[in-house]
Structure 1
Amino acid sequence: MARRLLSRMILNSNTTSIKSSLPVLSKKLHSQVPTKEIQIPVKFGHIAGKLWGNSSERPILALHGWQDNAGTWDPLIPMIIKDRPILALDFPGHGFSSWIPPDMQYYQWELPRIILYLKEYFKMEKVSILSHSMGAIASMRFASVFPDDVDFYIAVDSLIYDDYDLDAVVGKIPTTLKKALIAQTRLNDEPPAYSLEEMTKIWHLGTRKSVALESVPHLLKRGIKPSKADPNKYYFSRDSRLKYTLFNPEDKKFVEALVRRLKCPTLYIKAIDSPYSSDAYSIEMREILEQNNENYEFHFVPGTHHVHLNNPELVAPLIKNFIQNHNLSL
């Protein structure tokens, strides 16, 4: 059933209506692997996806990080794709996907619900997941609360939210809520516009240089639009309300209960130069996962939080070995 539905999605995909109007930003953006743009309907619009491969088999879902988009997988997917298609998705508010309705706010547990929606929409018996950062955290939650519905889960540099100081978190909530309220009044306004060179630097610095300058074009392809006021400039097209998502830390016992339920083959790749998931709390959760999941693999690699984007050659062999070791299909 999933195979027939995917075939129908490809046939009905409206690629021309969502192609980026940007110039070719980098030769690295091109690949020999065929791709198609698809749209998955939701009540508030659609979820956009970049489908890699020709096969009509059940697709692997590739889920990006906060304020990134499906372009984050452009360098890696050609290195690992084999027999099954890979569907790199834009979460709502990101990339080519629709924004949530006005007066609504993005919520951290909404993303696991979206994974469930995709599973039901494609009529999948199992879900296969490749994920990074926010996408990895959402996928861990989904794989933990639906342990029988995931056949493998690959996470790059994140599994859980870090153990932030709760007083500092609470102290920032009033400012975040006020800014979020202002953002609701500007949904129809065009944001500030910049040249492509300026936007590349802004994105690079906005990630604290985690996304290398030469990697930014992969994200720009789905993350900016030409300005109506100045056709020589562009603006960031993601929903500004994403900046004011309340990423609330969760009780340690609650997170531990999630981690203990994660039973599917799991590969966690941790970037050495990334500040995330490096505290004692995160290490303890990884140790619990290792004790409770005999199909868990963990590897350190040199690189930043976006190591899969900047240095895919370091990540690809680990993924292919993981798939082979567990007799999985990629």
Structure 2
Amino acid sequence: MAKKFLFSTILNSNRSSIKPILKCTQLKKIHTEASVKEIQIPVKWGHVAAKLWGDENEQPILALHGWQDNAGTWDPLAPILSKKRPILAIDFPGHGLSSWIPRGMQYYPWDLPRLILYIKDYFKWEKLSLLCHSMGSIAGMRFASVFPDDVDFYIAVDNLIYDDYDLNQVVENFPKILRKIQVIQSLPGEPPSYTAEEIVKIWHLGTSKSVSMESVQHLMKRGTKASSRDPKTYYFSRDPRLKHILFSVEDKKFVEALIKRLKCPTLYLKGIDSPYACDEHSVEMRDIIAKNNPDFECHFLNGTHHVHLNNAELVAPLILNFLQKHKFLK
């Protein structure tokens, strides 16, 4: 989770038995492109969109993206990993090609672990395999800690928990955020549009240059739409309500109690050029995980918060070695 993002607005930023799982009676395949399939998972308010790489008759690794990103964040990495294990990367609600939540409602971070549980129950998986980044990593950690017997492994990129924030600053910003939430609920029409070149620059700068200019294309595919006013321009298509989420800071004792329940093999990959998860609280919580979980593994890599997206060639070998070590590969 990006600390800078919390208080600012950016322009739309041992293996369980395998069963046949992605049945046509459960999923609506809306598009097939080479070995990648587009999937729709029905939910009460519409659908959760996803991309599937690899064998659809084998349980996939569930891949979870970061805040205001989408399933495209795994485009460079998933084709490598899916040669060994299929990857199902979802768009969280309001992101990418997934449906927005109903009008008048607001996004809440603890809804994401509940969505993970829904997906597990929907496919009738005995256990989940998790590959996560940023907001997805926090959601994955919460799920793996609350349901420690339901996760066979958890891989996190650049986040495990929320960073430690100034509580006074959090409270001071709540009135402003709540007012913005009120306003954005009723904004009419299509948002501002930009040329493709402008979109790339805005996305790059909006992530504090964490997403490289070259990598923006992967997120644009699911995160932008052609303007109806000028088809030569594009707008950010994610739900604008995502820009003003109330990220609730959690008590240190609560976080510690939560993470001590994490018992599955865990791989944590940290970009050394990322400013996140570097505060004293995050480091202390990471050390607690290491002391309580003998299967916790941590690596520091050259790269930004989006190291998995920009430098998949650095990340892939570490993940494959981890999966091989714990016998999660064929």
Q: Which bin holds the TM-score, normalised by the shorter protein?
A: over 0.9
What amino acid does structure 2 have at the position aligned with 1:313?
E
Q: Deviation digits for residues 32-76 of structure 1, max 9, x if unmatched?
A: x61000100000000000010134111110000000000000001
After the TM superposition, which residues 1-330 of structure 1 pair with which residues of structure 2 at under 5 Å, given as runs?
Answer: 3-8=19-24, 12-15=28-31, 34-186=35-187, 188-329=188-329
CA contact 1:9–1:38 (8 Å) conserved in 2 = no
Regions of 4+ moved over 3 Å: 1-5, 9-12
CA RMSD of aligned residues (A): 1.6
* Distance 1:284-1:259 versus aligned 2 partners, 3 A rule: same
CA contact 1:271–1:300 (8 Å) conserved in 2 = yes
Could you tell me how far apart the structure 1 residues matched to 2:111 and 2:18 are? 23
Q: How high is the sequence identity, in percent, across the aligned residues?
A: 65
CA contact 1:69–1:94 (8 Å) conserved in 2 = yes
What amino acid does structure 2 have at the position aligned with 1:91?
F
Could you tell me how far apart the structure 1 residues matched to 2:26 and 2:117 are? 21
Partner SS for 2:22: helix
Q: Deviation digits for residues 220-277 of structure 1, max 9, x if unmatched?
A: 0000001011111110000000001111110000000111000000000011010110
| Structure 1 length-normalised TM | 0.92
What amino acid does structure 1 have at the position aligned with 2:60?
P
| Structure 2 length-normalised TM | 0.92
CA contact 1:2–1:122 (8 Å) conserved in 2 = no
Partner SS for 2:270: strand
Could you tell me how far apart the structure 2 residues matched to 1:11 and 1:73 are? 21
Could you tell me how far apart the structure 2 residues matched to 1:181 and 1:15 are? 36
CA contact 1:35–1:51 (8 Å) conserved in 2 = yes
Q: CA deviation at 1:154?
A: 0.2
Could you tell me how far apart the structure 2 residues matched to 1:245 and 1:144 are? 23
Gaps of 5+ in 1: 17-29
Could you tell me how far apart the structure 2 residues matched to 1:226 and 1:88 are? 24
Give the aligned length. Answer: 314
Partner SS for 1:298: strand
Q: Which structure: greater helix fraction?
A: 1
CA contact 2:62–2:87 (8 Å) conserved in 1 = yes
Q: CA deviation at 1:77?
A: 1.1
Gaps of 5+ in 2: 1-16
CA contact 1:55–1:84 (8 Å) conserved in 2 = no
